[in-house]
């Protein structure tokens, strides 16, 4: 986190001394994503691999020099998700109004799937090359993502001998704000009249705990507060068009 703050401070000084080009570009993206969740707790593990989702939204670039810009935008991150296996018996979604009363305490080894949706605002420094024919390459780093939860659904699997369930509203047990960092790069293919197709590969990793940790675990007959930090990571295949 300290390194990112230093980079952003350096960026601010660089911008204050640069010659403004005042070129602004806008565009749109529809980008498939593969996301996962992980925690800092040894007894809460990722379970189930990658989950397919998508990003959809508008992007903008302000060029303060010919090949240097500040990139931002706004959009939706759909199915930003992951599966976690809880090795201890416990109650993890204590604030949510679950559909079945027996879900208030879950069995050891239960799998919980989080299906989350965010409005995202990214902020990045973009660097691009000159043209190689009709192509140019670019990189965005660092990227800071501000995410605001719009929906949170959850599924329970492996709650033997109790019931399993899907599409529970777990929004009360998921934090509203999600802060992430990332980096990425790719290419632009010029179609003409300043219109370009964009393709790239991005990595995104959360800083903040997406769960509220109001629940508890039970191990060896002892009840303990559940305070693991769960974060979301994703690989994004950027697909878009710029004007």
The domain that holds 223 is classified in CATH as 2.40.160
Residue 139 covered by a domain = yes
Q: Tokens 């508890």 — which residue?
A: 216
Tally of domains within the chain:
1
Range of the domain at 45: 29-242
Name the helix (H) or strand (E) containing 143.
Answer: strand 135-157
Residue 21 covered by a domain = no
Residue 75 covered by a domain = yes
The strand order across the sheet containing 216-219 reads 89-91, 216-219, 222-225
Mean pLDDT of the chain: 90
Residue 64 covered by a domain = yes
Residue 54 covered by a domain = yes
pLDDT at 18 over 50: no
Tell me, what DSSP letter sits at residue 99?
Answer: S
Assess contact for 61 and 28: CB atoms under 8 A.
Answer: no
Closest CA to 103 of 91, 115, 120, 87: 91
Residue 11 covered by a domain = no
Name the more confident of 13 and 119: 119
pLDDT at 5 over 80: no
Residue 136 covered by a domain = yes
pLDDT, tens digit (0-9, with 9 covering 90-100), for 70-82: 999 999 999 999 9
pTM confidence score: 0.86
User: 13: pLDDT confidence band, cut at 50, 70 and 90?
Assistant: very low
pLDDT, tens digit (0-9, with 9 covering 90-100), for 96-134: 999 887 787 899 999 999 999 999 999 999 999 999 999
Average pLDDT over residues 138-165: 93
Residue 38 covered by a domain = yes
């Amino acid at each position: 986190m300290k390194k990112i703050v230093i980079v952003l401070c350096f960026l601010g000084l660089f911008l204050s001394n640069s010659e403004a080009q005042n070129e602004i570009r806008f565009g749109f993206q529809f980008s498939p994503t593969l996301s996962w969740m992980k925690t800092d707790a040894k007894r809460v593990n990722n379970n189930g691999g990658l989950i397919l989702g998508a990003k959809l939204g508008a992007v903008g670039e302000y060029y303060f020099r010919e090949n240097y810009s500040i990139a931002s935008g706004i959009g939706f991150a759909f199915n930003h998700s992951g599966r976690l296996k809880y090795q201890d018996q416990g109650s993890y979604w204590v604030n949510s109004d679950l559909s079945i009363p027996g879900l208030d305490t879950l069995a050891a080894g239960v799998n919980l799937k989080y299906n989350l949706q965010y409005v995202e605002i990214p902020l990045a420094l973009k660097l691009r090359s000159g043209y190689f024919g009709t192509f140019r390459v670019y990189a965005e780093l660092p990227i800071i993502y501000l995410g605001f939860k719009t929906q949170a659904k959850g599924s329970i699997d492996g709650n033997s001998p109790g019931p399993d369930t899907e599409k529970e509203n777990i929004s009360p047990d998921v934090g509203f704000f999600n802060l992430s960092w990332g980096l990425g790069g790719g290419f632009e293919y010029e179609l003409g009249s300043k219109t370009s197709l964009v393709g790239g590969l991005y990595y995104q990793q959360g800083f903040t705990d997406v769960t509220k940790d109001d629940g508890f675990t039970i191990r060896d007959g002892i009840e303990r507060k559940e305070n693991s930090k769960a974060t979301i990571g994703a690989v994004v295949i950027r697909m878009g068009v710029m004007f």
